[in-house]
A = this chain, B = another copy of it.
Amino acid sequence: MLRAAAALLARKSTATMDEVARAAGIGRATLHRHFAGREALVKALEAFGLEEFEAAVDRAAIESGPAGDALRRLIAEMEPAAELLAFLVTENQLFEGDQVDEGWARLDARVSALFRRGQEQGDFRIDLSPIWLTEALYGLIGTCAWTVMDGRVAKNEFQYMITELLLGGARRSVEK
């Protein structure tokens, strides 16, 4: 049910509760029985998303191995939840910047740590801050998810496009 809601809201973040219910194949009443209002639904989606993302980070085991490889694994593991991430990132953007959710802070910390580790081990450049790299990762995943939804990028290119752009950039390097 959460997955159905996520799939719809990722495409149309302003979707009605009625539309969400129909998309999930249930009645509005039932939807309200599970989530007391739209706010509760979004909160549940956020919690659900955080679980997914943490699980993806765990599966990718980003704390081990070369940072570059760890990042590749992370992107691969995050792909199934990319649309949800796109939704939650823009949704979070609406919040008055006052208090950031503790769950997000923890997730951000883990991902940032990956980039910092890469810098310390000499794999990543040090002139781009880990925080920015983390945000850029989220942004690229969201952007790519949207672009795939629009059909402008093939779904099976998802991982490659993000990984290569984020790691190697657009410039054609000499070593290649």
Contacts and interface: CB of A to CB of B under 8 A. Distances in A.
Contacts of A97: 149-151
A13 B93 CA distance: 9
A128 B164 contact: yes
Contact of A139 (B123, B124, B139): B139
Interface in A110-128: 115, 118, 122-128
A16 interface: no
Contacts of A143: 135-136, 138-140, 143
A132 B115 contact: no
A128 B167 CA distance: 12
A132 B150 contact: no
Contacts of A173: 125, 173, 175
A165 B128 contact: yes
A165 B136 contact: yes
Which of A165, A166, A167: most chain B CB closer than 10 A?
A: A165
Q: How many copies does the complex hold?
A: 2
B170 A125 contact: yes
A93 B146 contact: yes
Given A136-B143, A140-B140, A175-B175, A170 B166 contact: yes
B129 A153 contact: yes
A176 interface: yes
Contacts of A118: 170
Given A136-B140, A136-B143, A139-B142, A167 B169 contact: yes
